[in-house]
């Protein structure tokens, strides 16, 4: 068995080597080759047809993927509209019905693209690889035929004729000719037929694709008009005051904090009043800073390392409940904004509700004033003063 495999392998290698040698001689002009202009034209047409079919298949596949993505986006949009469009608003049930219509339209459209356009186009494209293999095989068999023909011619021109070798060369040439001509005849029948298929195939693919697209666009337009009418009616109802909320007689009062002294000794002006909303539920915002005393002599919790003047501690105290573990060097603790604050001086910082600020020591502890802290916003790294009662420790 090993000897048989070895012999077949040796013959295969010899055949490939013979073909390579023949092609080199033909390219150098030292050996003529059989030319078939008609078949060459058939092959050119086939190559162009295969390239165009593959391009169209690729783009239709991509188009279908995009349509499915658009279907998903449309479905998500209608789901969100169904959630934000309140039940008591006019047209709520109609909105749900149009959402279902849109979903069915896109589902049907994607199915038609898959079944009526992409699937037939895939079957059309799948013909080409087998035909290409047959064309390549014909090319190899033609090289074999030319090679056998040249060998016979060389034997016949030799000074000492070897009739046995000449007879064997004739048999080999006849075998190569029969094999080549059989393939050549098949391709002469198949290639023109395949090439003629391109027009009805393209026409059918375009017809099914754009017929389905025309349907979904026309029906989607109807859905859009219905939705526009719903929105228009909602606007009119709103303009008539149908959904207006009953208002209280007066707004809730604000708590007012009056600073006892300006925080900046260099500024002669008195700071404007700072207002913050009244909160009844202290668990939601944490312990307000109004309850934290900043007197130097009262220790209400842990005290950060601070400067001392005449034996008394000066600096920022760390309130109870504040976490100090794992903080970078220089950060005393962190606070979260419970109210929005807009700065009123250049050395202050503004922040929104929920922003986190890192509290640091005053550059000059003797300038620290009651009710104000120095901090760095984590979101922007801005540093400045801010009112402590607008935040809570974390």
More confident residue, 355 or 261: 355
* Half-sphere exposure (Cβ direction) of 60: Cα atoms closer than 13 Å: 26
Task: Give the class (CATH, top level) of 15-239.
Answer: mainly alpha
pLDDT for position 32: 80
In whole angstroms, how far apart are CA 97 and each of 100, 313, 315? 5, 71, 66
* CA gyration radius, the chain: 44
* pLDDT level of residue 20 (50, 70, 90 thresholds): confident
pLDDT exceeds cutoff 70 at 123: yes
All structural domains of the chain with their residue ranges: 15-239, 255-261+274-393
Tokens at residue 312, please? Answer: 């008394």
Residue 284 is predicted with a pLDDT of 41
pLDDT over 60 (residue 256): no
Split at pLDDT 50, 70, 90, the class of 5 is: low
Torsion of Cα atoms, 22 then 26 then 28 then 32, to 10°: 130
Q: What are residue 255's DSSP bridge partners?
A: 276
CA distance 67 to 60: 10
Does position 171 have pLDDT exceeding 80, yes or no?
Answer: yes
Could you please state the CATH topology (level 3) that the domain comprising 255-261+274-393 is classified under: SH3 type barrels. (2.30.30)
Tell me which residue has tokens 């079957």: 123
Specify the higher pLDDT residue, 247 or 148.
148
Is the pLDDT at 217 greater than 50? The verdict is yes
Q: How far, in Å, CA of 121 to CA of 44, rounded?
A: 21
pTM above 0.75, yes or no: no
For 14, the enclosing helix (H) or strand (E) is helix 2-27
- Find the range with the poorest average confidence among 25-34, 72-81, 316-325: 25-34
Which residues face 59 on adjacent strands? none
The answer to whether the beta carbons of residues 146 and 173 sit under 8 Å apart is no
Looking at residue 225, its pLDDT comes to 97
Note the pLDDT of residue 309: 44
Higher pLDDT, 19 or 352: 352
Given a cut of 70, whether residue 377 has pLDDT beyond it is: yes
Residue pointed to by tokens 């309130």: 319
Q: Is the pLDDT reported for residue 21 higher than 90?
A: no
Residue 113: pLDDT over 70? yes
Task: Give, as one character, the DSSP assignment of residue 116.
Answer: I
| Lowest-confidence segment of 134-138, 243-247, 306-310 by average pLDDT | 306-310
What pLDDT score does 27 carry?
75
Tell me what the mean pLDDT of segment 148-158 comes to: 92
Q: Summarize the confidence of residues 239-266 as an average pLDDT.
A: 60
């Amino acid at each position: 068995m090993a000897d048989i495999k070895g012999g077949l392998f040796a013959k295969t290698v010899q055949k490939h080597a013979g073909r390579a040698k023949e092609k080199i001689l033909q390219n150098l002009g030292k050996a003529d080759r059989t030319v078939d202009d008609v078949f060459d034209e058939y092959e050119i047409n086939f190559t162009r047809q295969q390239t165009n079919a593959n391009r169209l298949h690729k783009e239709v596949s991509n188009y279908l993927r995009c349509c499915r993505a658009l279907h998903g986006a449309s479905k998500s949009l209608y789901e969100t509209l169904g959630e934000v469009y309140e039940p008591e608003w006019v047209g709520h049930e109609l909105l749900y019905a149009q959402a279902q219509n849109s979903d069915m339209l896109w589902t049907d459209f994607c199915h038609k693209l898959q079944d009526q356009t992409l699937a037939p186009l895939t079957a059309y494209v799948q013909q080409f690889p087998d035909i290409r293999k047959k064309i390549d095989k014909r090319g190899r068999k033609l090289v074999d035929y030319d090679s056998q023909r040249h060998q016979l011619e060389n034997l016949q021109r030799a000074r000492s004729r070897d009739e046995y070798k000449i007879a064997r060369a004739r048999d080999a040439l006849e075998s190569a000719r029969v094999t080549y001509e059989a393939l050549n005849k098949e391709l002469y029948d198949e290639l023109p037929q395949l090439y003629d298929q391109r027009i009805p195939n393209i026409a059918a693919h375009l017809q099914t694709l754009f017929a389905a697209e025309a349907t979904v666009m026309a029906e989607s337009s109807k859905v859009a008009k219905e939705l526009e009418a719903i929105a228009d009616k909602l606007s009119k109802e709103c303009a008539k005051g149908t959904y207006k909320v009953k208002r209280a007689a007066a707004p809730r009062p604000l708590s007012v904090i009056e600073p006892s002294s300006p925080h900046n000794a260099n500024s002669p002006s008195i700071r404007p009043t700072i207002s913050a909303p009244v909160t009844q539920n202290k668990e939601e915002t944490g312990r307000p800073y109004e309850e934290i005393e900043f007197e130097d002599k009262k220790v209400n919790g842990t005290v950060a390392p601070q400067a001392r003047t005449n034996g008394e501690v000066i600096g920022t105290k760390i309130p109870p409940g504040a976490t100090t573990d794992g903080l970078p060097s220089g950060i005393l603790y962190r606070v979260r904004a419970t109210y929005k604050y807009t700065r009123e001086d250049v050395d202050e910082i503004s922040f929104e509700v929920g922003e986190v600020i890192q509290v640091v020591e005053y550059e000059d502890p003797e300038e620290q004033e009651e009710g104000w802290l120095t901090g760095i916003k984590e979101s922007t790294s801005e540093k400045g003063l801010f009112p402590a009662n607008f935040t809570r420790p974390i």
